[in-house]
Structure 1
């Protein structure tokens, strides 16, 4: 995301820029044109609207929903684990009775946070395996399949031809055996 640079007139004041922005944002916000402070009636706006940033297309596709949900879970669990570890450390420094339970819960939270990170990895792999891989057969496999289909087509055509001959009762044959 790039920010669009602003060019200002050298003698322009902050109040003037703020008023111009206010006027540009809400052109008729309840105060008549002639009654607006710092702006004479009928004056044209000197500055044109410039966006704060320019949208650029994403280079990669966004993360799929199941993976995004796993990432959010993992971030929340890791944040809670870090807070617990900090509280355990501070309780230990203060010599509080809550230090031991907090250390034990921090160890348990570390295990859960590790599981959450592994869950993100597994969810991503599963999603990629199910939806993300476009499988294209190699040229040799395609050629072999084409040959098999042609052979089957010929066999079916030969069977249809024999069925047709049987239905007609042998008419069209040179000899009746």
Structure 2
């Protein structure tokens, strides 16, 4: 029977995944080219020297591609990675502060109303 299991890690974002696939393809081509260069050196073929030079260039490109994955991941995390959701604790504290402000405003209104009433009575008696 088919049983769904929850995934341990979330899927990579699209730009990061694209960079990672590109890096894997470039690294695999570099490894194949290194093997060909090695065999050309063993066979003492004229193609050995150009293959070794291009192998060095491909190694630089592969390193650049891996760094591109890292940079793309960092940029994506900086732009979209942080989801700002207030925690339940922050929400509760905000509610308490709001309630305290409402009570303070209501008390201030009541005090002002009482003062006005007292001032009105004094004027009418005088």
Q: Sort the TM-score into its range (normalised by shorter chain).
A: 0.5 to 0.7
User: Which gives a bigger RCO, structure 1 or 2 (Cα 8 Å, sep 6+)?
Assistant: 2
Structure 1 runs of 4+ with >4 Å offset: none
Larger radius of gyration: 1
Matches within 5 A, 1:122-141: 122-135=71-84
Any unmatched runs of 5+ in structure 2? 102-126
User: What secondary structure, in the 3-state scheme, does the structure 2 residue paired with 1:54 have?
Assistant: coil
Unpaired segments ≥5 residues, structure 1: 1-50, 151-177
Which residue does the alignment assign to 2:13?
64
Relative to the length of structure 1, the TM-score reads 0.47
Structure (1 or 2) with the greater helix fraction: 2
User: Aligned-residue CA RMSD in angstroms?
Assistant: 2.5
Match of 1:85 in 2: 34
Question: Within 1, Cα distance between the matches of 2:60 and 2:52?
Answer: 13
| Aligned residue pairs, count | 94
CA offsets per residue over residues 110-157 of structure 1, 9 Å max, x none?
A: 0000000000000000000000113468x7xx98xx9xxx9xxxxxxx
Q: How does 1:1-177 map to 2 (within 5 A)?
A: 51=1, 54-135=3-84
The whole-number CA distance in structure 2 between the counterparts of 1:73 and 1:88 is 22
